[in-house]
Amino acid sequence: MKRLYVVLIVLAVVAAGASLVLFGLPLAEHKGYVLIAFQGFRYESSLWAFLALLLVLWLTIYLVRLTLRMLATSGGLLNPWSRLHSRRRVRLASEQGFLDLAEGRWARALRHLQRAAAGEAQPLSYYLGAARAANQLGRYEDSDALLEKALDRQPQAELAIALQHAELQLARGQAAAAQDTLQVMRERYPHHHLVLRQLQRLYLQSGNWSALLGLLADLRKEKALGNAELSELERQAWRGRLLQAGRALEGDEQAGLAALQQAWQSMSAALRQEPDLLAVYAEQLRGLGAEDDAEELLRHALKQHYDSGLVRLYGLLRGLDLERQLQAAEGWLQQHASDAGLLLTLGRLCLHNQLWGKARDYLESSLALQRHPETCVELARLLAQLGELERSNSLYQEGLSLLDQRLGEPAPVVVGGATVALGAPI
């Protein structure tokens, strides 16, 4: 094929040479003459000058047409200048849009990111950012429409778009809709970490403890969370489940108690030894009128593993045998004599048993170790009963002051027999 081209070129050169010999030499000797006259206009020149003028006009018209065609064509091979500037405009719009998004200028971010998405072949990130900006502006329909456009342009990014949609729905307070979106994604991508984690956050935020507990197995299997985080999440879920069970059937204590006990038995043996879960369960039992069950539960738990928080709660319970309850607590005193919480509990149990002297000694010892508002109040009530009103009032004031300090508020003071807050006008 190349040889054919070479032969054709040689023949063309030969033909051109022959034409030059046959016609060029006679024409060179005779320059010719061109005359154009029309209504006062007169043009005359040699033939060669006229032909040169025609060639220049033709080239000028051709170049003008080519330039106009290049300017009119956008993004094609014939218009690299336009394509370059189009890309530059997309880049500038995207940079400004993401900057506006990061700085919370939602309307500007929406405008710039939509412009960038329209001129980009892979517009997913721009549509996601624009949808977020529209959502922040309260334009929920526009936000959803932008996500639909993203799905139309990049259907392979279905999961990323759905995760963003669920996040925006949750931000709107549409927890049920967000859950539906994530459940669909979980069916299609059952092992995806982000789907599982977003469901976990949704259940945690909405207090759907049963669903969260059902999700824990998949979170653990797929290693979506670390072991420490999973353990804490499991404790939190069971804590919420116990609280929910105790309050689910208000007005029907027996049914509520049965639901609470069923939830407790559903827990693993290891979790039933956790102090914070034991405390929640005991509090719920106490609230449902099963105080004796709560007392027995904590007594056995404290016998196996001492915990100061559970000891404080134990002092608030009234078991079936108040004397045995006091004896059990005094048995812990041998190894934990410096625990102010245990001394407070012993003081309360002595009050339950009407042992006023022992109660006072235990409460005074507890206050010597720790100035706690509960201890102040318990001792103040006992002293008021014993007729020591001045000391009782002083302890009440101290208890209130300590409580206010814990709450981060200014402590009340007594001025002229009236109680006012510090910083208030007297």
Are residues 200 and 192 in contact, defined by beta-carbon separation less than 8 angstroms?
A: no
Higher pLDDT, 269 or 426: 269
Is residue 270 situated within a structural domain?
A: no
Is residue 274 situated within a structural domain?
A: no
Q: How confident is the model at residue 208 (pLDDT cuts 50, 70, 90)?
A: very high
Higher pLDDT, 104 or 84: 104
Higher pLDDT, 419 or 401: 401
**Alpha carbon distance, N-terminus to C-terminus of the chain:** 111
pLDDT tens-digit profile of 107-162? 999 999 999 988 888 899 999 999 999 999 999 999 999 999 999 999 999 999 99
pLDDT > 90 fraction of the chain, expressed in percent and rounded: 63
Mean pLDDT over the full length of the chain? 84
Tell me the backbone φ, ψ of residue 41, rounded to 5 degrees.
Answer: -90, 135
Number of independent structural domains in the chain: 1
- HSE of 85, CA atoms in CB hemisphere, 13 A: 6
* Pairing mode of beta strands 41-45, 412-415: unpaired
Query: Residue 233: its pLDDT value, please?
Result: 94
Is residue 337 situated within a structural domain?
A: no
Average pLDDT over residues 261-283: 94
Domain that holds residue 36: 28-72
Tell me the C-alpha distance between 132 and 126, whole Å.
10
Is residue 102 situated within a structural domain?
A: no
Q: Which helix (H) or strand (E) holds 361?
A: helix 356-369
Is residue 219 situated within a structural domain?
A: no
Query: Residue 84: its pLDDT value, please?
Result: 58
What is each CA distance from 113 to 42, 99, 135, in whole angstroms?
Answer: 63, 10, 14
Tell me the C-alpha distance between 219 and 25, whole Å.
95
Query: Residue 255: its pLDDT value, please?
Result: 85
Is residue 54 situated within a structural domain?
A: yes
pLDDT at residue 409 is higher than 60: no
Q: Tokens representing 302?
A: 């404290």
Nearest to 341 by CA among 313, 317, 361: 313
Is residue 368 situated within a structural domain?
A: no
Q: How confident is the model at residue 410 (pLDDT cuts 50, 70, 90)?
A: very low
Q: How confident is the model at residue 60 (pLDDT cuts 50, 70, 90)?
A: confident
pLDDT at residue 177 is higher than 60: yes
Average pLDDT over residues 21-30: 54
Q: How confident is the model at residue 421 (pLDDT cuts 50, 70, 90)?
A: very low
Tell me the C-alpha distance between 409 and 252, whole Å.
39
Is residue 65 situated within a structural domain?
A: yes
